[in-house]
Chain A
Amino acid sequence: MTLREARIGQDCRVNAIDLKHDTSRRLEMLGLTKGTIIRLLNAKKGGAVIIRVRGTRFALGREIAEGIEVTVRG
């Protein structure tokens, strides 16, 4: 599933990032590497999300949220 399908408050494990090369690398540099646990803090109907990754918060647009493959860890 993609990050967009996760529910608010869920912890997810990043499995893969399927986005344009530059965006993928940028996300990795920000700490969204494979295996990282992220928490979905907030989400909007339009698809934008707020996540917590490695102790910091990021707002991501729908296009990005849909390109991050995750597994929910409860």
Chain B
Amino acid sequence: MDNKPHNGAELRLAFIGNPNCGKTTLFNAYTGANLKVANWPGVTVEKKEGTYRDHENRFRLIDLPGIYSLTSYTMEEKVSRMCILSDDVDVIIDVTDASALERNLYLTLQLIELGKPVVMALNMMDIVEERGMEIDLHRMSEMLGIPVIPVSARKKTGLGALMHAALHHRDSDARHRIEHHHKVGENAELHREHAVVYSDDVEVIISKLEARLKSTYPDIANPRWHAIKYLENDEEIMGRYAVPTDDIYTGSYESEIINQKYDFIEEVIGEVMANKEEKSAVTDKVDSLLTHRIWGIPIFLGIMALVFGLTFTVGDWLKGYFELALEAFSGLVTNLLAALNVSEFLTSLIIDGIIAGVGGILTFLPNIIILFFALAILEDSGYMSRVAYVMDGLMGKMGLSGRAFIPMLLGFGCTVPAVMASRALEDRRDRLKTIFVTPFMSCSARLPVYVLLSDMFFGKWAGVAAFSMYVLGLVIAVIVAIIFNKASAKYDAHTLLIELPEYKTPNAHTIFIYVWEKVRDYLTKAGTTIFLASILLWFLLNFGAGGLVEDMSDSFAAVIAKVLVPVMSPTGLGYWQIIVALISGIAAKEVVVSSMSVLYGISNISSAEGMSLLEAQLGASGFTAANALALMVFVLLYVPCVATIATIKRESRSLKFTLGTMVMQIGTAWVMSTLVFQIANLFV
């Protein structure tokens, strides 16, 4: 390495490892909750950075996504490779799971081949020792040519030693001495230099390619690695360093390269591991129940019922108190502003705009905190991966991952945390598909609208009418998912391929950071959008051509609504008051009810007399049960509330996708309510 550290300079470390190896727990152990989360430029993969100090040494830590290999098949792999190869990284910290060492070593070998300093953090040694296994760390270090440091991310042991090793390994240019017991033959030189030496025929090709790459690109760093990438048919590398190869080799050696790496891994495991798989862990016993072919699904549903119950009963109970406090606060401020003789405009901005907007953001917090606490436990214990297997059959039919069940179920409670829960899905396309259909699950805020309208128009069938909305939402979601899937079938048929990690006791620190990250993300990223959108809606509903308006019917929203009347006529909702109520419902679905009462000049809408008054008013304008049903369908399907839109934007990280979702929802709502209205009209 040419850029030696001068004393006191920052050492930049990249943490990399397989999924479930404890990499993030280890990373958190160094940085705590104090990290910078951003996106890698141009892609939607998350980038986490933090710092750590140890005496006078400063470290900058980058947490790379969990990956199994360093090819360029997935975005995560590409990003990790780019980051490691860049000058931003001095030392690679390869986090490995000692209990799955054999598979973890594959990535290790790829990292070593990159030619940068690598230090292995061997995690979960405690678990391995409990199981009676032994790993000869000294011998492993000798065979791989890199320092191997045992750590426990959970018990926070070995942390200092790891940083120390990184510091020292960076200082030394020379790799550790590599010593193997296998026959070296004619490639003795290679065996001293490289941990992995391929079969003679492959090595001949590598050395020819190396020579050609070096002569064409004199500045190329580590030509051996690039030559190996050539054999693996790596398009990115072959494009960047193009050389003719037809006279050297033909076809792809990718499979050979992988197989021979594993041959070497078997040799390493054979030498360093004693009492391999003595006890096959509790995991298999737990799994025989949790992934049971009959009991697996009921158990999962039971767990989900618990999560749902906690999130929405406890969450909504806390939310109730929160709303009381907010109301009291808002009343207090109103009095204060009145006492100070503040203008009507400013009072409305503060009370109806700012306080209502911020309050609206905060009311979701109890749900979000409890939900993510529960999901963090499921994730950290290792159960979440099993969900993909257990629910694969049912969800797979819709082209969705088994885990998509979780956000969809949560959607019946509240769409905001449900959309956030789509992070449990590992694949981006799966995640988007799930986000796309989740808002169709009828959230609890839509219930008051159904209750009010069905009570007024459907008499003893009120319950059925309200319940049918839930069924309709589910059916639409399934249909849309299937269509979406058919449309994107050219990419990849859904196939389950997921690791099931060992079960473990969830770690309090990991859970805390998981929840904290979600909450912070929601407040800072989604919160700002929700706030701005709430202010915009406040403006539309409270302002007209002549400034601040007393009556919603003079507002800009009413002007827009009157323009939209002909468009909405086929749906049976061609009443400007209803359209204004629907626009106000974008702030929060339950507002539709209160807006209707305001627009029709009814003071206590939930009381019997208020209802009959509204019914009479609606009836006078020709609004019948058919219109009511159409309105319920429209409320079910049209754009979700601003909080949901902002969350979709945040989670998808794509404005185009968010807008597309909204257009699709309005379109679906229009088509479905027209259908319902026209058919219902035949019978009413």
Instruction: Name A residues whose Cβ lies closer than 8 Å to a Cβ of B.
Output: 22-31, 33-34, 36, 41-46, 48, 50, 53-61, 63-64
Contacts and interface: CB of A to CB of B under 8 A. Distances in A.
B155 to A, nearest CB: 22
Contacts of B495: 23, 60-61, 63-64
Given A29-B68, A41-B287, A42-B291, A58 B102 contact: no
B277 interface: yes
Main secondary structure of the interface of A (DSSP, over half): mixed
Contact of A60 (B69, B100, B254, B496): B496
Nearest to A35: B259
A11 B262 CA distance: 19
Interface in B93-107: 99-103, 106
A33 B106 CA distance: 12
B265 to A, nearest CB: 8
B500 A57 contact: yes
A48 B497 contact: no
A4 B520 CA distance: 45
B277 A55 contact: yes
A6 B197 CA distance: 36
Main secondary structure of the interface of B (DSSP, over half): helix
19 contacts: A24-B255, A25-B258, A27-B497, A28-B255, A29-B68, A29-B258, A31-B102, A42-B288, A44-B393, A46-B392, A46-B396, A55-B100, A55-B103, A56-B499, A57-B287, A57-B501, A58-B500, A59-B386, A63-B495
B496 A28 contact: no
Interface residues of B, number: 39
Interface of B: 68-69, 71, 73, 99-103, 106, 254-255, 258-259, 262, 276-277, 283-284, 287-288, 291, 293, 385-386, 388-389, 392-393, 396, 493-501
Contacts of A53: 103
A48 B106 contact: no
Given A53-B103, A59-B497, A60-B495, 16 more contacts: A25-B254, A25-B258, A29-B68, A29-B71, A30-B499, A36-B262, A41-B284, A42-B287, A42-B288, A42-B291, A44-B293, A44-B392, A44-B393, A48-B393, A55-B277, A57-B283
Contact of A59 (B99, B277, B389): B389
Contacts of A54: 100, 102-103
Nearest to A46: B393
Contacts of A36: 262
A31 B263 CA distance: 10
A66 to B, nearest CB: 10
